Amino acid sequence: MFPVVVVHGGAGQVPKERSEGSSLGVRMAARAGYAILRGGGSSMDAVVEAVSQLENDPFFNAGRGSLLNIKGEVEMDAIVMDGKTLGCGAVSAVLNIANPIRLARLVMDKTSHVCLTAEGANRFARSVGVPEVPPESLVTEYSRMCWAKNLAPGTNRGDSQMSQMGKMGTVGAVAVDRQGNVACATSTGGVANKMEGRVGDTACIGSGGYADNQVGAVSSTGYGEAIMKVNLARLILFHMEQGQSVEAASGLGLAYMESRVGGLGGVVTVDPQGHWAARFSSLQMAWAAAQKDTLHYGMQTGEDFTHSIDDPL
């Protein structure tokens, strides 16, 4: 079994001027996650490190760079799950935390609950010493520009999936470590110009992510209202339980979401043997995977570029 980490930077359509930055971001994140696995670290540490890096990268819709709600504010969701114990932690609608994925992990590690939301999540963050940052520090010029554009008269207000597909950039990762433990992590600013208090798939166990050592792990991205209706992550693992490969199961889950509720999206998937897949039904999804000291990456359907993990990016 070869340890592996697979990272995504959100399903959708990556604007041309952001494609190089998005591709570089996922490759760097996969490399950071892989360094942990190569050093004998856990899959949970690897996915949290990879996703934290992407939260810090303003090219992605998570942490700094999150899309804004209708009031022009950041409201973020994040989830982690540990396939060994089925332990999971999530936060939703948090405003002023630089790395919601680390807070989600603390919910898993330090509380008896699975998900904390809004002000309660912030109070918990304070109690465990997670620093709060000024909410404006997470807002970028690009996210402000998307928000203003969506407010313009005649613009589709972000309540349909087609209006979303040009603006995604949610981040996520799955990994398998040397012990065969699988884990997932997903983090997002949600959909553009969403209603205040809207919580998407990312914070919902089985939708935005799921991990079980007996089957595998999935991190999802796409239109959350569609992902939640089909429980996308768990649906893919169900197909794997029925004997499908990671690749086939991922394709079946995405195809069902498209035919049943008209939803587009993408996933990264692993099984405990180290097989992996990065699949999407959207136009694009920046992704990268690291295994056997090789970095794989792509953004358009069918792409799988490779180079040695230690080559300059």
271 binds ligand ASP (CB under 6 A): no
Full DSSP string of 89-149? EEEEEE-S-S-HHHHHHHHHHH-S-SEEEHHHHHHHHHHTTPPP--GGGG--HHHHHHHHH
Token duo for residue 170? 């949610």
**Interface pattern 245-264 for ligand ASP (x via CB under 6 A):** --------------------
Which lies closer to ligand ASP via its Cβ, residue 146 or residue 191? Answer: 191
For the bound state, the minimum distance from the C-beta of residue 144 to ligand ASP, rounded and expressed in Å, comes to 18
Which lies closer to ligand ASP via its Cβ, residue 33 or residue 208? Answer: 208
Q: Name the residue number minimizing CB distance to ligand ASP.
A: 224
222 binds ligand ASP (CB under 6 A): yes
CA distance 153 to 42: 49
Would residue 306 show up in a list of annotated catalytic residues for this protein? no
In DSSP terms, which residues pair with 115 in a beta bridge?
A: 90
Q: Which stretch binds ligand ASP (CB under 6 A): 18-26, 37-45, 91-99, 185-193?
A: 185-193
Q: Choosing from 85, 155, 170, 202, which is the catalytic residue?
A: 170
Which lies closer to ligand ASP via its Cβ, residue 97 or residue 227? Answer: 227
Q: Are 128 and 110 in contact (CB under 8 A)?
A: yes
Between strands 87-94 and 115-117, the pairing is parallel
From the list 1, 8, 38, the residue with the least C-alpha distance to 294 is: 38
Of 191, 211, 267, 277, the residue at the interface with ligand ASP (CB under 6 A) is 191
Say how many Å lie between the first and final Cα of the chain, rounded: 26
Q: Which stretch binds ligand ASP (CB under 6 A): 105-113, 118-126, 186-194, 296-304?
A: 186-194
224 binds ligand ASP (CB under 6 A): yes
